[in-house]
Structure 1
Amino acid sequence: MEIAVFYYGFVSWRKTKLQNNEFSYHKNSGTIPILIALIPIIAIETYVLNILLSKWSITAAWLVSALSIYSGFQIFGFLKSMFKRSFSIEKNTIHLRYGILSEARIDINNIKSIEISSKPIEFNDTVRKLSPLGELESHNIVIHVKKENTIIGLYGIKRKFKTLAFYIDNKEEFKEALDKKNSVTE
């Protein structure tokens, strides 16, 4: 994961062009402004904490500063990865990649229903959001699956779901493409 953060944050600068089977989720989402706002907040917090802690211990001040700077790099890498890793519909699989923060693969034959909805839903052990930011990010697509599926989050943490909610920029086009694929596989 650390290598991916470094790669997306500092190596991969080319703009990626979406293919016909790919869909963005970052253009109208609230996640990007949240992550962008966190970076200067971390910078200010680092400066203030360094000054305060240096009165007590120079070593502690520099240790906390290093951790804060590292956190800023992490958030920057997460932010950049969201621009590079889009959702895609392959042959019989949907790949939902939320940057390097989380991802899920759903077999199209496993889809029970797809709904365009931003209505509040109650989250529990089988109803999840793709975004690790949870309630801070809205959703506009809800997919219900027949058999339990898995979201792989940061550091490989796995969570099961039967209903997955997420935000996508062009929800109608995404649903239409899935409906078309689903009718072909039935």
Structure 2
Amino acid sequence: METRLIVTGVILVVLLEGFLVHLFLLYRKGKITENPLLLIYKKELKILFYAFFKWKIPSRNPETFYYHKNSSYFWLYLALIHEQVIEMIVFHIYLRKEEPEIALAMLLLHIYSVFYIMGDYNLLRNTPIIVKKDAIHIKIGVRRELNFSFGDIDKIQPAKLKYNNSGGIIHEKGVFHATAFPEGAN
């Protein structure tokens, strides 16, 4: 069994290495604006900082809007944490009996994923939509970010989602839909 585990580990490391080299080559060609390795590192540190140290929401001012307030994102967050904790316990008990050398690695990955979800939720809570004199800054955690001026806006209207025959959403060109999670029932 040790040989299969070592071969699997080597294959995963080689695939990760190939992916990182591919990202770096895209950066060198100019297709990615920021060094992807530093970007990943900064995002991970930011997520962990918000998971452990940034729990208080900053004071509100008239030019900020928190889009997580009336949404169901908190309940999604709670469900994901709940699922991760249950999965962590069940996998650890099962793997400790079947594959004890993998059990600790999976336990650490699950603990990290719980901290990651906590950090992402806190980052979402602490990054509002900011409306300044001539610009709007929208940040949805570390996932998405958009900055634009009022001159770039043709019109603002409620979103109209269109679906194709198989049920997939048809994304319109030149349209930005901003949502953290759909509104809950009030």
User: How would you bin the TM-score normalised by the shorter chain?
Assistant: 0.5 to 0.7
Matches within 5 A, 1:19-34: 19-34=61-76
The answer to whether the aligner puts 1:106 opposite 2:165 as a matched pair is no
- Give the length in aligned residue pairs: 133
What residue number does 1:70 align with? 112
* Secondary structure in 2 matching 1:26: coil
Partners of 2:142 and 2:71 in 1: CA distance: 16
Q: CA offset at residue 62 of structure 1?
A: 1.0
Which of 116, 120, 124 aligns to 2:161? It is: 120
Aligned 8 A contact 1:86 1:99 in 2 = no
Q: TM-score, normalised by structure 1?
A: 0.65
Distance between the aligned counterparts of 2:112 and 2:179, measured in 1?
28
Higher percent of residues as helix: 2
Question: RMSD across aligned C-alpha pairs, in angstroms?
Answer: 1.8
Summarize deviations over 1:148-180 as a string: whole Å, max 9, x none.
xxxxxxxxxxxxx62111238xxxxxxxxxxxx
- TM-superposed CA distance for 1:19, in Å, is 1.3
Does residue 81 (structure 1) correspond to residue 123 (structure 2)? The answer is yes
Letter in 2 for 1:94: I
Question: In structure 2, what residue type is equivalent to 1:7?
Answer: F
1:88 CA drift (Å): 0.7
User: Tell me, which stretches of 5 or more residues in structure 1 are unaligned?
Assistant: 128-160, 169-186
Partner of 2:96: 54
Q: What is the match of residue 93 of structure 1?
A: 135
Q: Secondary structure in 1 aligned to 2:57?
A: coil
State the distance in 2 between where 1:55 and 1:18 align.
51
Percent identity at matched positions?
26
Matched, 1:13 2:55: yes
Provide the C-alpha distance between the structure 2 equivalents of 1:77 and 1:7, rounded to a whole number of angstroms.
Answer: 7
| Cα distance, 1:91 vs structure 2 | 2.7
Task: Report the 3-state secondary structure (helix = DSSP H, G, I; strand = E; otherwise coil) of the residue aligned with 1:88.
Answer: strand
Where 1:165 maps in the other structure, the secondary structure is coil
TM value normalised by structure 2: 0.65
Cα distance in 2 between the residues matched to 1:98 and 1:167: 8
Q: After TM superposition, where is structure 1 displaced by more than 6 Å over at least 4 residues in a row?
A: none
| Superposed CA offset, 1:1-31 (max 9, x none) | 1111111111113231221111110011122
Deviation of the 1:73 alpha carbon: 0.6
Q: Deviations over 1:79-103 (max 9, x none)?
A: 1111110001123211111122221
Structure 1 residues 105-135: Cα deviation after superposition (integer angstroms, max 9, x where no partner): 1221111111134x434545x64xxxxxxxx
The 5-angstrom pairing of residues 122-141 of structure 1 reads 122=163, 123-124=169-170, 127=172
Partner of 1:35: 77
In 1, Cα distance between equivalents of 2:157 and 2:106 = 45
Is 1:163 aligned to residue 175 of structure 2? Answer: yes
